[in-house]
Amino acid sequence: MLPLDAVAYTNRWRPRHPAEKAFLSLGLLTCAVALPPWPGAPVVGVVAAMLLLGPAGVAPRQVWRAMKVPLGFVTVGSLPLLVAVGGTPWIRFEPTGVPLALQLAGRATAALLCLLLFAATTPLADTLPRLNRLGVPPAITEVSALMYRMLFLLLESVRTVREAQASRLGFRTWATSYRSLAGQGGAIFVRAFERARRMEEGLALRGYTGSLRVEVEQRPVSQPFVVATGVLLVVVVVGTLTLRRVLA
């Protein structure tokens, strides 16, 4: 199981209805995108982080572990705004790009925290079956669920093959490492193909008719939580606009 999935199954908000958490996280995401980046991004980011670390009960190290790779992409995507190309010298530092880079990084980080607020509190197994009620075709949710399941099987296969190659000194030199990686790719492809074929045969033998029926746990939507979320979003919008007017 991936670390983010483990957090999604063990946090305090796990028993809540996915619609409640989607309303909260998507509402904050809308604020992060629609409000001015300053001070909107810091306000939304702080609120999302406080909800993650406080009521949701996600540990700081778990949040950092889930965010560090996307934050690397945010940083790399912001750096080109600090560089100007053309003229003399041909490539140079552009001071006017600093505010734009900070705005981009701040807004992207706030949006990342909003998405993490949903992903770290809601397992995919709770979300996919309920999407059919919103009009999403069953074929899309079923293919997504199968791909999600196959992902863990492929990761396990990669670990097994890599351990076997390492035990045979397959990564001793650069040449053996390249050869091992090529063999690893071929072995994983064959295993994935074989698992897909066996899964297709298993579904056919069980009378698959184009729809996978799964039992969905019934969870009532908490009206106080929805009302509190609406109040929080209003406070975020009003507070951001007020701070912007004060700091202007």
How many beta carbons lie within 10 A of that of residue 242, not counting itself? 11
Identify the band that residue 112 occupies on the pLDDT scale cut at 50, 70 and 90.
very high
Question: Distance between CA atoms of 189 and 152, rounded to whole angstroms?
Answer: 14
Residues 116-123 have a mean pLDDT of: 88
Bridge partners, residue 85, by sequence: 91
What pLDDT, in 10s, does the model give residues 219-245?
788 888 999 999 999 999 999 998 888
**Cβ atoms of 4 and 64 closer than 8 Å:** no
Q: What are phi and psi of 2, to 5 degrees?
A: -70, 150
Residues 202-225 have a mean pLDDT of: 74
**Cβ atoms of 27 and 13 closer than 8 Å:** no
Helix axis angle for 18-34 and 97-119, nearest 10°, is 170
**Cβ atoms of 45 and 32 closer than 8 Å:** yes
Residue 28 pLDDT exceeds 90: yes
In sequence order, which ranges of 132-208 are alpha helices (DSSP H)?
138-167, 174-205
Q: What is the predicted pLDDT for the residue at 13? A: 87
pTM: 0.77
**Cβ atoms of 112 and 67 closer than 8 Å:** yes
